[in-house]
Amino acid sequence: MNLAAKDIQHNFGRFALTALGIGMLLMIVMGMGGIYRGLIEDATLLVDRIGADLWIVQRDTRGPFAEISRVPRSLVYRALAVPGVESAREFLFHTIQRQHHGKPLRMSVLGLSWPLDKGEWLPLVAGRPLAQNHFEMVADTSLGLRLGEQIALGKDLFTIVGITTGMVSSGGDGMAFVTVWDAQAIQFDMPGEAIRLERAARERRSQTQDVFLSQPALGEQLARPTAELPGITAPQLSAVVVQVAHAADSARVAAVMAAWDDISVFTRSGQEDLLVQGMVDKARRQLGMFRVLLTAIATIVMALILYTLTLDKLHSIALLKLIGAPNRVILGLILQQALVLGSVGYGIAYVVGQQLFPRFPRRVVLTNPDLVQLAVIVLVISVLASLVGIWKALRVEPNEALMG
């Protein structure tokens, strides 16, 4: 006869509620670990998917995912001229928030280097990649946009031609993929009134400055959009991504580019390290502190419950000692209850988490090593929680069974 099983059966209601509470605590601990893994995956997602060997960004910046980076479009051709470079592509990334169907819609816009990159590498679940240079978009499912739907961004209407999944930014915003030219049009869009005022200001300056008075033909150009003026440079990129030839040395190619005074160069692993150490580090530490606190709380709750259960059966324990039961029987009774409580709580945490985690607004990634680590932690805190009950049980005198 197993005494632990009989005692659990006798106090089943209290045991079940305790296991449920422990399971909810462990589910939160499990979820926080999964959120941390999700943060890392989201932060490094694009770097992994794009697969570039080198990232060229503005000098002394950490790249387009951590802060604003501006490089000229001509940098693509400079990179292609470096020996060992197989390909160089434009990269534009920014986050916007617009109104769509009366609700706020926040998205991260990624400009694809058309026609070299049409988005074939995206994990599409419906539709197709981009097929033309303008007014087409591939959107992530988290944005809630439907295939064939049109969305107004700036002065243009974009048609959703493809739906992808799992493509979110490090901030958790769903991603939308358009060509670089469309991404720039969205990023640098200005209201019509602002454009009119800018043109009026140019016209006033043309009537007072000597260069326009001596060359009237220049004044006629001022009515054109800013991006089309001959003296105005084209909109800049966020970065240039470089693929190094298989036979070339990436470190040597990076060293050549790093000598340029206007840019910084990061390898793929270097860009990932910057993202994890910069954008995810504070979240990691905060989630880690909450995990430690909740684990400690779970240990205290289990210890209190086991201590209470031990107090309820002090008379039975004294009777066992009176009839000659060894201490290992009593120790096994309490320890087995603690292990069952921890195991049931862990099972509840896993089962409930599998149902709830996919509904979280941020990605929750549960990995086998993390689940095994948590199982070991639960085993340890179960043993530690049982020590209080064991200590109380071992102090019971056999003659207390004769005192009623």
Under 8 Å between Cβ of 9 and 313: no
Q: What integer pLDDT is reported at residue 215 of this predicted model? A: 60
End-to-end Cα spacing for the chain: 25
- Domain annotation covers residue 82: no
CB hemisphere CA count around 65 (13 angstroms): 27
Distance CA 339, CA 385 (A): 10
Distance CA 78, CA 72 (A): 10
Higher pLDDT, 190 or 249: 249
Taken in order 310, 313, 316, 318, is the CA torsion positive or negative?
positive
| Closest C-alpha to 163, from 174, 179, 153 | 174
Could you give the C-alpha distances from 135 to 128, 151, 181, 267, 324, in angstroms and in order?
14, 10, 10, 33, 86
When divided into structural domains, the chain yields a total of 1
- Residue by residue, DSSP assigns 42-107 as HHHHHHHHH--SEEEEETT---TTTS---B-TTHHHHHHTSTTEEEEEEEEEEEEEEEETTEEEEE
Distance CA 18, CA 300 (A): 12
Distance CA 109, CA 112 (A): 10
Q: What integer pLDDT is reported at residue 50 of this predicted model? A: 81
Distance CA 247, CA 286 (A): 44
Higher pLDDT, 246 or 197: 246
| Closest C-alpha to 179, from 268, 89, 80 | 89
Highest mean pLDDT: which range of 148-152, 223-227, 294-298: 148-152
- How long a stretch of residues is the chain? 404
Domain containing 326 equals: 3-42+281-403
- Residue by residue, DSSP assigns 224-253 as S-GGG-TTSPPPPBSEEEEEE-TTS-HHHH
Q: How confident is the model at residue 402 (pLDDT cuts 50, 70, 90)?
A: low
Once rounded to an integer, what is the mean pLDDT over residues 371-398? 80
Global confidence as pTM: 0.70
Q: How confident is the model at residue 158 (pLDDT cuts 50, 70, 90)?
A: very high
Distance CA 315, CA 402 (A): 9
Q: How confident is the model at residue 199 (pLDDT cuts 50, 70, 90)?
A: low
Identify residue 205 by its one-letter amino acid code.
R
- Domain annotation covers residue 296: yes
- Domain annotation covers residue 395: yes
pLDDT digits (tens, 9 = 90+) for 206-227: 666 655 555 655 555 555 555 5
Residue with tokens 């009537």: 207
* Peptide bond connecting 115 to the previous residue in cis, omega within 30 degrees of 0: yes
Q: What integer pLDDT is reported at residue 1 of this predicted model? A: 43
Distance CA 18, CA 341 (A): 8
- Domain annotation covers residue 12: yes
Q: What integer pLDDT is reported at residue 41 of this predicted model? A: 80
Q: What integer pLDDT is reported at residue 287 of this predicted model? A: 78
- Domain annotation covers residue 323: yes
Q: With 90 as the cut, is the pLDDT of residue 275 above it?
A: no
Q: How confident is the model at residue 169 (pLDDT cuts 50, 70, 90)?
A: confident
Q: What integer pLDDT is reported at residue 7 of this predicted model? A: 64
Higher pLDDT, 213 or 1: 213
Helix (H) or strand (E) holding 6: helix 3-10
Once rounded to an integer, what is the mean pLDDT over residues 349-368? 87
198: Cβ–Cβ under 8 A, 6 or more apart, which residues?
190, 226
Q: With 90 as the cut, is the pLDDT of residue 361 above it?
A: no
CB count in 10 Å sphere of residue 30: 23
Once rounded to an integer, what is the mean pLDDT over residues 320-334? 71
Write down the mean pLDDT value for the chain: 80
| Closest C-alpha to 23, from 293, 305, 291, 352 | 352
Look at 127-131, 146-150, 260-264, 382-386 and tell me which has the smallest mean pLDDT: 382-386
- Domain annotation covers residue 196: no
Q: Measure the CA angle with vertex 43, ends 39 and 46; round to 5°.
A: 140
Q: How confident is the model at residue 130 (pLDDT cuts 50, 70, 90)?
A: very high
Identify residue 266 by its one-letter amino acid code.
F
Look at 145-154, 164-173, 249-258, 321-330 and tell me which has the smallest mean pLDDT: 321-330
- Domain annotation covers residue 112: no
Highest mean pLDDT: which range of 34-38, 251-255, 392-396: 251-255
Distance CA 25, CA 43 (A): 27
Q: With 80 as the cut, is the pLDDT of residue 398 above it?
A: no
Q: What integer pLDDT is reported at residue 219 of this predicted model? A: 55
- Domain annotation covers residue 145: no
Once rounded to an integer, what is the mean pLDDT over residues 138-146? 91
Distance CA 276, CA 288 (A): 15
Once rounded to an integer, what is the mean pLDDT over residues 320-330? 70
Q: What integer pLDDT is reported at residue 224 of this predicted model? A: 58
49 token code pair: 């998917």
pLDDT digits (tens, 9 = 90+) for 6-44: 666 766 777 788 888 888 888 888 888 888 888 888 777
Q: With 90 as the cut, is the pLDDT of residue 159 above it?
A: yes
Provide the β-strand partners of residue 345. none
pLDDT digits (tens, 9 = 90+) for 43-91: 777 788 887 889 899 888 877 777 778 888 888 889 999 999 998 888 8
Q: With 70 as the cut, is the pLDDT of residue 5 above it?
A: no
Give the whole-number percent of the chain exceeding pLDDT 70. 79
Higher pLDDT, 319 or 364: 364
